[in-house]
Amino acid sequence: MDQSADGRHGIYHCLADRYPHRYSHRYEPDPVYRLQSHHSAVQTGITIDFPTDKGPFRALDNVNLKISKGEFISLIGHSGCGKSTVLNIVAGLHRATEGGAILNGKEVIEPGPERAVVLQHHSLLPWLSAYENVELGVKQVFKGKKSKTEMREWIDHNLELVHMAHARDKRPDEISGGMKQRVGIARALAMQPEVLLMDEPFGALDALTRAHLQDSLMEIHAALGNTVIMITHDVDEAVLLSDRIVMMTNGPAATIGEVLHIELERPRQRLVLADDPQYNHYRSEVLKFLYERQKKPGEADIQPETDNADTDKPENTTELRVVSG
């Protein structure tokens, strides 16, 4: 895969030639590939309580974050700190007890095609081919808007984008785990989401496959400029992919502890960054937060999305907005 600037320009212009209505206004030939505007996409101030036999359990307390269009955000923290709960609220799967998520000025109250979700498990239907699995999402969004020929070309295009055109007719049991995840990403992208929500999308894959998919995700993000919110436990993955890393405190009443801005030029080369002092500084800062300022949580009462140890809340929180469009 060509990770050079010329290679990425070539990828983009190939897409623009084929789908000018999709790409002509989204790309600026910036050598560092920061496809960001400073307009807000989503904003939230999330507090959520879950009912228990002992009364309400506060899982998240005043989680506020503002995300710009085209920004890549990673949420990181110990297991059970509520990362997936934040993602589910933005996806419209949970309702906050107080506050909520606002996308392009509208409150998120239910799932919608402008927010596509990619989970750790690919969630492909086993009796359908790779093409047919992507087709499910396309028909949901574009039925009556695209002709059959246009839909077929769009599905093939998205399979090409994740390097799966050669396996379009194979069923999930005929391809590897990494290939299944690529198809899941293609299905999400084919819905033309403004916000891509990823919950540990590469967590179940081996290290080499994970690295290849990380490279593909960077390439896709550079070409499309989607807003991405990704949950990860992998510190190196967070630093490599992100514009900002949002570090969550332990629960109960988890919130945002720190936000780290990653000012590394794009496109990013993992082998070059391995010896880069700034990269290693960012990596060290995340590790210090997780293992010094936030002790690893011990056993706690089982709660939805939270297995927690008490920690002090920071005095200052950040506002959550996911903004696109």
- Is 251 in contact with 84 (CB distance < 8 Å)? no
Higher pLDDT, 156 or 251: 156
* pLDDT tier for residue 25 given thresholds of 50, 70 and 90: very low
Q: What is the mean pLDDT of residues 210-217?
A: 92
Give residue 104's pLDDT band: very low, low, confident or very high (50, 70, 90).
Answer: confident
Cβ pair 59, 303 in contact under 8 A: yes
- pLDDT at position 298, please? 54
Q: Which residues contact 107 (CB under 8 A, 6 or more apart)?
A: 100, 101
- pLDDT at 177 > cutoff 80: yes
For residue 130, which phi and psi values (nearest 5 degrees)? -55, -45
**5-114+194-323 homologous superfamily:** P-loop containing nucleotide triphosphate hydrolases (3.40.50.300)
Whether the per-residue pLDDT at 82 is higher than 70: the answer is yes
pLDDT score recorded for residue 320: 52
- d(CA 142, CA 46) in angstroms, rounded, equals 32
* Domain residue ranges of the chain, discontinuous segments joined by +: 5-114+194-323, 125-192
Model-wide pTM > 0.85: no
Residue 241 has what pLDDT?
Answer: 97
Q: How far is CA 82 from CA 42, 198, 225, 256, in A?
A: 18, 14, 27, 10
- Per-residue pLDDT, averaged over 116-143, amounts to 92
Give the count of beta carbons closer than 10 Å to the beta carbon of residue 210.
18
Q: For position 113, what pLDDT does the model report?
A: 87
Q: How many CA atoms lie within 13 A of 303 on its CB side?
A: 30
State the Cα angle at 11 between 10 and 12, rounded to 5°: 90
